[in-house]
């Protein structure tokens, strides 16, 4: 027990636990994309209907992002994360019992509501345990779980579906989530006074949620994150189906190949946090702009090349640069805003991202149906969203001064 107490105050061990939570969260979400074709066949659903199912999760998830952030600030990161873990594990299991389009829509919407507090609470935990100079690296490392979770999901889901079927697969994943609930309950403790001092420094001016809502830079970050996450969620949600339908791979081949871009993305997020902290202090927006443009270029090359080998190469490069953009956008609020409102700020920015998660799969599903199974228009939609994110980043100006006008830290 003494050894466990020692671990519970180690910021890097806490980072590992947060990373594990995000991994399970993304596994719970992303296996849905792999199971999409089987669910559609069993329940007789069109691509447009399946797009709505994917988006229903994000409707609930986006709706509760800001309230989830406020709850994390009020009740603490540990409580909100544990409640979220319990809720999303239950609704993961319920997904395996869905019997119709309507039941899927309700279950996935409530799944999103249940999970919504976790992102803001985990970002608040980063602010509690890490000094500001290390937060971009810590946040990027934690969020690299998004990409690694998306990478592992098809590798896990494809053989699990062949072995147990898609329904039982969701029940097994739910059990993993409940194990993690016990880990969080035992391991997560309040940070020590020394860690609080390192994380907060001395904040001499308070900032409220109303101040955040009135700050133009915060809304620019919301739009930048919305544009980038449209691409991330559209890409990750429909890539397995694209490989099955357009590139004509079998389920196991599609599972393996669709995992490769996200392994690259996870590495890019960790490297991106390190590069931003070391070389782009005060110039974070330029990093985000460059990597997003490169990601869009390789996305275009991916769906235009007739070669399967080159398509796989381009999708890996596209994911690498797009996921690197996480570090540029998320570094600013983590470095400048006080710990006391980090949950609210993260919830506000992540609202844009999860609104993107609602819009992107649904719009892509409609575009695929409207163009008779062609994915070209859907991918052009993702490229347009990248342009929106880049434009928002270009308008940031001196983001650091804009945010520091609301809070003075020593």
Distance between CA atoms of residues 177 and 227, nearest Å: 30
Helices (H), 64-100: 65-75, 77-95
CB-based contact 279:327 (threshold 8 Å): no
Question: Which pLDDT does position 115 carry in this prediction?
Answer: 83
So what's the architecture of 2-182+201-404 in CATH?
Answer: Up-down Bundle (1.20)
Q: How far apart are CA 325 and CA 237, in angstroms?
A: 19
Residue 3's pLDDT is 55
List beta partners, residue 409.
203
- C-alpha distances (whole Å) from 377 to each of 51, 283, 311, 380 are 15, 34, 17, 5
Give 96-102's long-range contacts (Cβ < 8 A, gap of 24+).
96/166, 96/167, 96/168, 96/169, 96/170, 96/171, 96/174, 97/167, 98/39, 98/43, 99/43, 100/43, 101/43, 101/45, 101/49, 101/52, 101/53
DSSP 187: H
Give the residue carrying structure tokens 């920015």.
349
For residue 374, the Cα-to-chain-centroid distance in whole angstroms is 27
Q: Which two tokens stand for residue 372?
A: 């008779």
The CA distance from 174 to 46, in Å, is 27
Instruction: Let me know: does 358 contact 59? Beta carbons within 8 Å.
Output: yes
**Which pLDDT value is given to residue 334?**
67
β-bridge partners, 203: 409
CA distances from 95 to 2, 4, 99, 134 (A): 40, 35, 9, 38
pLDDT tens, residue order, the chain (410 aa): 455 555 556 778 888 888 888 888 877 777 777 787 788 888 888 877 887 887 788 788 777 777 877 787 788 778 888 888 898 889 888 988 888 889 989 998 998 888 888 877 887 888 777 877 777 778 778 878 877 877 777 777 778 888 888 888 888 888 888 888 888 888 777 655 444 444 444 444 566 667 777 778 888 889 999 999 999 888 877 887 888 888 888 777 877 888 888 889 889 988 888 888 778 877 788 899 999 999 999 999 999 999 989 999 999 999 999 989 887 787 767 666 666 676 677 778 878 887 887 788 889 988 998 998 889 999 999 999 999 999 998 887 654 555 555 543 32
User: How do the domains of the chain map onto residue ranges?
Assistant: 2-182+201-404
CB atoms within 10 A of CB 278: 10
Contact yes or no for 243/111 (Cβ under 8 A): no
CB atoms under 10 Å from CB of 373, counted, come to 10
Site of tokens 């509690």: 128
Model pLDDT, residue 299: 95
Using alpha carbons only, give the angle 163, 91, 145 rounded to the nearest 5 degrees: 75
Tokens standing for 25? 């969260």
């Amino acid at each position: 027990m003494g050894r466990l107490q020692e671990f519970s105050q180690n910021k890097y061990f806490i980072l590992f636990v947060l990373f594990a939570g995000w991994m399970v969260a993304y596994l719970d979400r992303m296996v849905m994309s792999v199971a999409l074709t089987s669910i559609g066949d069993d329940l007789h659903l069109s691509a447009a209907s399946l797009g709505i199912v994917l988006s229903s999760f994000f409707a609930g998830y986006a709706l509760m992002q800001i309230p989830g952030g406020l709850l994390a600030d009020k009740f603490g990161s540990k409580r909100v994360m544990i409640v979220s873990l319990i809720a999303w594990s239950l609704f993961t299991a319920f997904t395996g019992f869905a019997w119709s389009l309507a039941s899927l829509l309700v279950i996935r919407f409530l799944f999103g509501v249940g999970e919504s507090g976790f992102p803001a609470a985990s970002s608040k935990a980063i602010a509690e345990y890490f000094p500001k100079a290390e937060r971009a690296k810590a946040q990027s490392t934690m969020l690299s779980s998004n990409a690694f979770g998306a990478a592992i999901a098809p590798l896990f889901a494809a053989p699990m579906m062949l072995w147990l079927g898609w329904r039982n697969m969701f029940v097994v994943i739910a059990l993993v989530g409940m194990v993690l609930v016990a880990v969080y309950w035992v391991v997560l403790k309040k940070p020590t006074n020394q860690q609080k001092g390192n994380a907060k420094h001395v904040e001499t001016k308070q900032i409220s949620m109303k101040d955040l809502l009135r700050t133009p830079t915060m809304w620019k970050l919301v739009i930048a994150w919305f544009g980038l996450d449209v691409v991330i969620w559209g890409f990750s949600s429909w890539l397995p189906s694209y490989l099955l339908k357009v590139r004509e791979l079998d389920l196991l081949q599609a599972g393996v190949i669709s995992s490769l871009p996200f392994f690259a993305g996870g590495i890019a997020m960790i490297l991106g946090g390190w590069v931003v902290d070391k070389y782009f202090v005060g110039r974070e927006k330029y990093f985000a702009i460059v990597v997003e443009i490169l990601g869009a270029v390789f996305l275009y090359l991916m769906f235009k090349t007739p070669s399967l080998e080159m398509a796989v190469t381009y999708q890996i490069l596209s994911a690498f640069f797009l996921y690197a953009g996480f570090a540029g956008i998320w570094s600013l609020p983590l470095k400048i805003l006080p710990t006391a409102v980090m949950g609210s700020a993260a919830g506000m920015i992540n609202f844009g991202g999860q609104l993107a998660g609602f819009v992107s799969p649904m719009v892509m599903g409609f575009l695929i149906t409207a163009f008779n199974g062609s994915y070209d228009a859907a991918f052009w939609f993702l490229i347009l969203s990248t342009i929106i994110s880049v434009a928002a980043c270009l308008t940031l100006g001196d983001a650091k001064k804009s945010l520091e006008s609301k809070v003075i830290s020593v």
